[in-house]
A and B are shown apart, each in its own frame.
Chain A
Amino acid sequence: MTTKAASGNHADGGVRSTSGATVDLRNLSRSFGTIRALDGLTLRLAPGELVALLGPSGCGKTTALRILAGFETADSGSVAVDGRDVSGIPAAKRDMGMVFQSYSLFPNMSALENVSFGLRMRRLGSAERQRRASGLLDMVGLAAQGKQYPHQLSGGQQQRVALARALAIEPRVLLLDEPLSALDAKVRLQLREQIRSLQQRLGTTTLFVTHDQEEALSMADRVGVMREGRLEQIATPDELYDRPATPFVAEFVGIMNRIPAGLLELLGASALAADLVPHPERPAAGVDVLVRPEGLRITASPSGNGIVVGRTFLGQLTRLSVRLSGDVVVQVDQQSTEAAGISPGDPVDVSLAGAPVMVAER
């Protein structure tokens, strides 16, 4: 079992910051019948790092988390914490805190009892349990709700109790299995900031599984995008957005326009940049350029190359949908002040504002 940081600092709430563990998932594979949920996943989490696994449903992200937690076993590969193989260690002895997607509080226990459950399993004395559990509830802003039972708490409050409960055991690895997906937008936003702040303060190595890219990009140090059981790319949120490694990542993260390369001339670009061309001998044949909405520029023009077919007000920006020749519709983000005079049906001129993110085969 991993050892706690003996000289950990006391964060508020009586919870010590931990040194955080290095987690290694090595070549994990797992099949369920004919479905290959994980296909040679390899991932390393540095101490104190928050890594988000992002991907569509069925991509294997939850399976990876459950294997790390000890709830599933891999068909092949191994899991190591601080270099020690924990593949054969049962979940109860892995010392990993986990917050689940569904409200997982024990209905028969009050919030305080829920938080102190893990401490009780570690045979801490009653007074110490009470002190630490109260401190944790205070830390998540629920000091006054200690005596309430789960059914008396809102969903957001329940997840905060669940977070306090997971942190109470001072885990060196924290696992978050879509903990915000059942919450409404406002609570989700507040809770994700709270989780991130606590995680950074306590230095707990954290694996966060989500299908919500905004959550992943805003909370994680690094984001791993998964597809069909494999890690397509793992990078910082900026890098993932600006320099995606594959067309799948490029299109999965953020909004992306896929424009046939043949239309480039129409958009004012004479040719593709040499480093973007997959087949220099036939640069425009069978390839699309991937451009983000902010990578396109739009100006009102009676003799423009497109017609506005829709507009969505996003606050500071307005997203305009423009139909180009060949029935290609692109999304263009424009400052709302500049887009104020543009309405659906207006002819506009769309041009490239910079280099495309990448070129992908069709």
Chain B
Amino acid sequence: MAAIAGGNLAEDVEGQIPSGKSGRPGVRQFPVWRWVILIVVGAYFAIPLIAALRFTGFSSFPQVVHQEGFSAAFELSVRLAVITTVLTIVLMLPTTVYVHLRLPRLRRLMEGITILPIVIPPVVLIVGVLQVAPGFLKSTPYLLALMYVVLAMPFAYRAFDAGLRALDLQTLVEASQSLGAGWRSTLWRVMLPNLRTAMLSATVLTVALVLGEFTMASLDLYQTFPVWIVAFDQTSGPISVAASLLALFVTWIFLLAITLIGGRGSRRKGGAEVSLFSVSRRNTGGS
């Protein structure tokens, strides 16, 4: 350990780096069986995509955006995605923070409640809601956004929960308050910046869910992007498949961009390493 005053960080860090089992620091072992699993799983995902690509051909992609109804359906899906994401964050983030800070004993209950939308089929949810929803809501596609908030709840809650678990939230809040910060400053300057990656995860998952949801939109008789793809499938198979692939690629690019942007900022500041469902605290220095 370095001397306490004017300590040399390099000295502090040295000795904390695991040297690895092989005794060759920096060389990663990647056993053969891992390659086998990777190839099998990769093939499982890649073969249908390659088949779809072969079926549709690259020439179909530019045509997708010129098809009738594409713009309206895509725009509606994007609008729903934005509204759903905002509502989800506004509702779920304070709830999860409150449970972590004030009602930690309810965390298990919250986990149970938030898993319900996965257990209950979407068709049951939408049919039930359509029975009881007031007319003014049924006449607008934004009823779907409210339903999507419920569908996104399991993913958003877990993203926030993972983010909060990676922080010592109670201590950070108390430290902030002891320095004179009120709740608003604590939320804005301490909590949210440290939950940025968790919010990005929740956003990614919510957007992916909304852009791909078919059952509810179809039963609510609104033509979102997935509903349009299915409807267009009756007219032109190759273009419909191209639209599906396009949706998939756009979502992937979106996920990748968010993960990269979030991860880069977080790594620089030593925040949590966040992948979609897991958040791990970065190694803080020893003593």
Residues of chain A touching chain B, judged by Cβ–Cβ distance below 8 Å, are 69-71, 90-98, 100, 102-109, 117-118, 121-122, 141, 144-145, 148-158, 160, 162, 165-166, 169, 175, 182-184, 186-188, 190-191, 194
Contact = CB atoms under 8 A, between A and B. Distances in A.
A116 to B, nearest CB: 10
The 5 residue pairs across chains A and B that have the minimum distance between CB atoms = A151-B270, A141-B5, A118-B179, A154-B285, A155-B287
Given A71-B174, A108-B269, A184-B286, A191 B180 contact: no
A332 B185 CA distance: 57
Contacts of B4: 141, 156, 160, 187, 190-191, 194
Given A108-B190, A153-B285, A191-B4, 14 more contacts: A69-B178, A96-B178, A98-B174, A104-B175, A117-B181, A122-B180, A149-B269, A152-B9, A154-B287, A157-B7, A165-B175, A184-B286, A187-B287, A194-B4
Interface in B176-194: 176-182, 185, 189-190, 193-194
A183 B286 CA distance: 8
Given A121-B185, A141-B4, A141-B5, A103 B284 contact: yes
B1 interface: yes
B14 to A, nearest CB: 11
Contact of B9 (A94, A121, A154, A160): A154
A102 B171 CA distance: 8
B287 A150 contact: no
A91 B185 CA distance: 14
B238 interface: no
Given A104-B172, A154-B7, A121 B287 contact: no
A153 B9 contact: yes
A154 B1 contact: yes
Contacts of B172: 104, 106
A194 B4 CA distance: 9
Contacts of B12: 153-154, 157
A188 B285 CA distance: 15
A100 B282 contact: no
Interface residues of B, number: 39
A156 B9 contact: no
Contact of A150 (B6, B181, B196, B270): B270
A281 B189 CA distance: 70
Nearest to B2: A154
A101 to B, nearest CB: 8
B271 interface: yes
Contacts of B167: 107
Interface of B: 1-7, 9, 12-13, 167-168, 171-172, 174-182, 185, 189-190, 193-194, 196, 268-271, 282-287
A102 B168 contact: yes
Interface core residue of B175, B189, B193 (most chain A CB under 10 Å)? B175
Contacts of A165: 175, 179
Contacts of A182: 287
Interface core residue of B2, B12, B283 (most chain A CB under 10 Å)? B12
Nearest to B16: A154
Contacts of B286: 154-155, 184
A70 B174 CA distance: 9
27 contacts: A94-B178, A104-B172, A104-B175, A108-B269, A117-B176, A117-B181, A121-B181, A121-B185, A141-B5, A141-B7, A149-B269, A150-B270, A151-B282, A153-B12, A154-B7, A154-B12, A154-B13, A154-B286, A155-B285, A155-B287, A158-B284, A162-B175, A166-B178, A169-B180, A183-B287, A186-B1, A187-B1
A104 B171 contact: yes
Given A107-B194, A108-B194, A156 B178 contact: no
B73 to A, nearest CB: 39
B285 A118 contact: no
A151 B283 contact: yes
A130 B144 CA distance: 50
Nearest to B3: A190
Contact of A169 (B5, B13, B179): B179
Contacts of B168: 102, 104
A81 to B, nearest CB: 14
Contact of B177 (A92, A175, A194): A92
Contacts of B177: 70-71, 90-92
Nearest to A94: B178
A158 B175 CA distance: 14
Contacts of A152: 9, 270, 285
A11 B180 CA distance: 23
Contacts of B171: 100, 102, 104
Interface core residue of A94, A154, A157, A169 (most chain B CB under 10 Å)? A154
